[in-house]
Structure 1
Amino acid sequence: MINTPNAITAVRTVVAMALAVSAVARPSVALTAGAYVTYWAGDILDGFAARRLDQETRAGAVFDIVADRACTALCAAALLVLRPDVALPIAVFLAQFMVADCLLSLSFLRWPLLGPNYFGSVHRGVYRWNWSPAAKALNTGGVVGLALLAPSPWWATGLAAAVAVVKAASLVTVSRL
């Protein structure tokens, strides 16, 4: 299980979590932004390294999925310290990401796939709705971006709710396969 992509996952998780905990203890836009950038850039880099170095493993995919939840939880906490007014959209987002999306992401284990990025061979729609590059960006970056930039938290709440509906529909679809 020790390989370059998993080492990247471990490092990005430890650094992002340390930055986020620091941002919770001492509220800081810079620390919160650093935590999110480390998490997201590291998540892109570990996946790229896994594919480029031909080091993808099912255990590595599970490690990445679990690490994503740890980073997301602490980054969201840091964001809420700075912006308590976005508690509702962040709560809706966390409910779907920590539970529905986690279950959905781990569903690849039912098939002989290396990870969710290959779910298109099982169901193209579920892959497109959840793991295509656009879907991945919208799932977390879209909600966080709207929470920070929209004039009202209702925009981010609406997007988080829409994503939750997509996750629920995807879970129903996968359960029928």
Structure 2
Amino acid sequence: MTALGLSPPVTLLNVPNAITGVRTAGAVGFATAALTRRSGHLLVAAYLIYWVGDILDGVAARALGQETRAGAVFDIVADRACTSACAAGLVVLRPSTAVPMAVFLVQFMVIDQLLSLMFLRWPLLSPNYFARVDRRIYRWNWSPPAKALNTAAVAILSIWAPVAVAVAFALGVTAVKVVSLISAAGLPASARP
């Protein structure tokens, strides 16, 4: 805090945030091109840019010591932009994916976003450190296997599995997210990690 009671300026210009910006522009751009050209190849490229870029920005943040709370929020918001654009492309190219992707989008865009931003209640740099507050919620949502299942599995199942299986999986993930959100909201904010 400064003498005026204001917080110090937020650092947004760093390598991980640049990666987040580039991967978001790239994924949304390729997903938009996939929509307009009805191209599966462009959609695969969009998903790859999103997923590889999402891994790289996190690795860069930790490796370079450039993790910030603002960067974590930027990453969370950017994930929603990439996901919504890619999901739209998937539904246009494969209309049979509409129901599982709709369930997934409500879960990811609303419930998971609220849950992911819960880290701001504690002095944590990002949801990646939520194990300091609650190990179970962390394991279910931000451990590496949970992250992969939470974002990639529904899209993959929507393409390769029967619709009922993809919807059941999306509903299962939604249930885990709702329970996690309710549990996280009930934790005392004063708990020190």
Shorter-chain-normalised TM-score: which range?
over 0.9
Amino acid at match of 2:82: C
- CA RMSD between the two structures: 0.5
Task: Tell me the CA shift for residue 112 of structure 1.
Answer: 0.2
Q: Deviations over 1:57-90 (max 9, x none)?
A: 0000000000000000000000011100110000
Unmatched 5+ stretches in structure 1: none
* Aligned positions of 1:69-88 closer than 5 A: 69-88=80-99
Alignment match of 1:175 (pick from 163, 185, 190) = 185
* Aligned positions of 1:79-158 closer than 5 A: 79-150=90-161, 152-158=162-168
Question: How much identity, in percent, do the aligned residues show?
Answer: 61
* Secondary structure class of the residue paired with 1:2: coil
The TM-score, its normalising length taken from structure 1, stands at 0.99
Q: Give, in whole Å, the separation in 1 of the partners of 2:89 and 2:182.
A: 33
Structure number with greater Rg is 2
* Secondary structure class of the residue paired with 2:124: coil
The TM-score, its normalising length taken from structure 2, stands at 0.90
**Aligned residues, how many?**
176
Q: Deviations over 1:17-36 (max 9, x none)?
A: 00000011111110000000
Unmatched 5+ stretches in structure 2: 1-11, 188-193
* Secondary structure class of the residue paired with 2:101: helix
Query: After TM superposition, what 4+ stretches of structure 1 lie above 6 angstroms from structure 2?
Result: none
Partner of 1:53: 64
Partner of 1:62: 73
Q: Give, in whole Å, the separation in 1 of the partners of 2:156 and 2:88.
A: 15
Amino acid at match of 2:172: A
Amino acid at match of 2:129: Y
Partner of 1:21: 32
Amino acid at match of 2:80: R
Task: Tell me the CA shift for residue 153 of structure 1.
Answer: 1.0
